[in-house]
Amino acid sequence: MAEARAAVHGLPFSSELDFHCVILESDSKTLINKLKSPGDDSLEIRHFISDIKDLAHLFNECKFSFVGKEMNKAAHAIAAMGKFSSSDKCWIEEAPTEAMSFIESDRGSCSP
């Protein structure tokens, strides 16, 4: 549910930054499968799914992609930092120092 909530907040922000094409990545197969499927959802996160699908229309292109946990360590490190923060944070050009080793690891896991 946390990843769905993050998407509901992140997609409008991406639109405000004037992004036209976005890829929402998650290591939750359930979330990605529900976002890719037409129709309503009966899961607890159905209102998030509906909101995300509506927000996807803010973009010329919005793709939903599953990535395994081995390629998503940076997102988890940043999310863990967020659990202890009392305010929203955003990094446009530079990531927090605490996440850099995970970012390099994730980058090394990607195929060229």
- Predicted model pTM: 0.75
In sequence order, what are the residues at sequence separation of 6 or more whose Cβ sits closer than 8 angstroms to the Cβ of residue 71?
106, 109, 110
Residue 2 confidence (pLDDT): 78
Tally of domains within the chain: 1
Residue 18 confidence (pLDDT): 95
Residue 83 confidence (pLDDT): 75
Residue 56 confidence (pLDDT): 96
One pLDDT digit (tens) per residue for the chain, 112 residues = 778 888 998 999 999 999 999 999 888 898 999 999 987 666 788 899 999 999 999 999 999 999 887 777 777 777 777 777 787 777 777 777 777 777 777 665 555 4
State the Cα–Cα distance between residues 24 and 82, nearest whole angstrom. 19
Domain carrying residue 66 = 2-109
Residue 61 confidence (pLDDT): 95
- Phi–psi pair at 26, nearest 5 degrees: -150, 150
Angle between helices 29-36 and 46-55 (to 10 degrees): 60
Neighbours of 55 (CB within 10 A): 20
Residue 74 confidence (pLDDT): 75
**Do 48 and 40 touch, CB atoms closer than 8 A?**
no
